Amino acid sequence: MKEIRFRIATILIVVALFAVGCSDNVGPDADNPTDGIGLFSGEIDPSTGSILLKTLEVEGTDAVPVRIELHGRFVRDRTPEGSIGLAVAVRNVDSKALYATAELVLTDFRPETVTPHFDFADWIICPTTTGGDTTGVGTTTGCGFGYVYSELLGDDGVLSPGETSGEKLMVFVNPNNVSFSFNVEARFGMQPNRPRIAGVFFSDHNGNGVRDPNEPPFGGGWVNVTGPGIDSVTVGVGADGTYSIGVREPGLYNLWAVPPPTFAPVEPTTSNPLEVVLLPGPNGLPQSFLHADFGWVNAPLTRPVWFISGSLDSLALDPYSLIDISLSGRVLNLHVGFSGCSPDHPLQLYMVDGFMESFPVQARLVLDHDDRGELCAAWFQQRVAFDLQPIVDEYVKSYGQLDPIILNFEASDGSVHSIEMRP
């Protein structure tokens, strides 16, 4: 399956136009589609505040040129202060349909003081590590900034003849208020169902790692993808929680999901990183995998562990079911279920009777659960996290240095779950 690729070179954007509307400078005019790459200028109309990039022709799979246009308009109300926004759409002005994966890739910014705003690109790939500050600006030499149009081709995922895609917002930071130019490469599939890996971020309310019908998408964030022919590409997740990346080779792909910044931290309920193996189809191309989904839940706030000696009569110790237990560094994560009338039963972790002298040293842990005497038969679940640093501090105070500690968690049903906490 072949993509079409074309390059729009030296799009000269005069910043003074945005400020005072008094310039009509354009870049050089150099159309040459003979080898499938069209070089042509950007035209800025100060009276309408719009941009029309000349029609270009590129060679399709049957050597017949395919023509498209890029249409842009200035956007001022949705861009950060001091930046320039362009809403760009793709129009198919030929007789052949175009298909996903559909992308525009911006490169070679001149001068280098001008850069795309990182937060508005769907993916970024650089030959070396790229640093950024809080404004989304960083070193962009040699970097490509991808803007994915696959979800903007309509419900059918096809850009039919005469059809115009939805607009994608591109934002540029220009600290010195100078004219600038850049190159654009467009990538569109020439056949339907181009191989790709796709998925969705979702709010996993019940924490079961599966998107159930009542669980909404979790918009924003990124997915870093590596695999055959892909050293490292970061793909943006849309507001609808979806992402997609085109692939060309069968093999093992590794996907690492990063959630967007939120007021409350979240944690994954599905494998992260996720490994996806794409097998070759009858034509030798990889078969698509469209359910590389990532579930997220609110990460529980940590609570301190308490110490108790002697009788446990002062604790409630009402029944519960231990669904899962795990240790992350110095944090013990518990997932428990219980019956009652309300979901917020008090839960507290206790270390009982100090350290048990053995090698390694051991500690006994119990969970205090107060069911408040509720007689309802409703079933609830809680995820709780306990900070075990007080146990570490007590160990160092007693033994002088930190060594492995065996944590023996005694569940409500009498079962014991042993976990080693390492230095």
Instruction: Summarize pLDDT for 342-386 with one digit per residue, the tens.
Output: 888 999 999 999 999 888 999 999 999 999 999 888 899 888 999
Looking at residue 46, what is its pLDDT? 34
Looking at residue 99, what is its pLDDT? 80
What is the residue extent of each domain of the chain?
Answer: 3-189, 196-298, 302-421
Q: Is 115 exposed, middle or buried (0-12, 13-18, 19+ CB in 10 A)?
A: buried
Distance from first CA to last CA of the chain, Å, rounded?
A: 53
Report d(CA 206, CA 209) in Å as an integer: 8
Greater pLDDT, 17 or 149: 149
The closest alpha carbon to 361, from 401, 315, 330, 403, belongs to: 403
Q: Is-same-fold flag (196-298; 302-421)?
A: yes
Looking at residue 150, what is its pLDDT? 82
pLDDT in tens, 251-293: 999 999 988 876 567 888 898 889 999 999 888 888 889 899 9
Looking at residue 163, what is its pLDDT? 93
Q: What angle do CA 234, 236, 242 make, to 5 degrees?
A: 125
Q: Token pair of 126, please?
A: 């650089």
pLDDT at 109 over 70: yes
| CATH of span 196-298 | 2.60.40.10
Report d(CA 104, CA 144) in Å as an integer: 10
What 25-31 contacts at long range (C-beta under 8 Å, 24+ apart), as own/partner pairs, is 25/179, 27/181, 29/54, 31/56
Residue type, 198: A
Report d(CA 99, CA 160) in Å as an integer: 9
The 3-state DSSP class for residue 383 equals strand
- If one counts every other C-beta atom within 10 angstroms of the C-beta of residue 167, the result is 17
Cβ atoms of residues 230 and 251 within 8 Å: no
Looking at residue 31, what is its pLDDT? 27
Report d(CA 401, CA 420) in Å as an integer: 16
Query: What letter would DSSP give residue 134?
Result: T
pLDDT at 30 over 70: no
pLDDT in tens, 155-173: 777 888 999 999 999 888 8
Peptide bond into 175 cis (omega under 30): no
The H-or-E segment that residue 3 falls in is strand 3-8
At the topology level, CATH places domain 302-421 in: Immunoglobulin-like (2.60.40)
Cβ atoms of residues 268 and 296 within 8 Å: yes
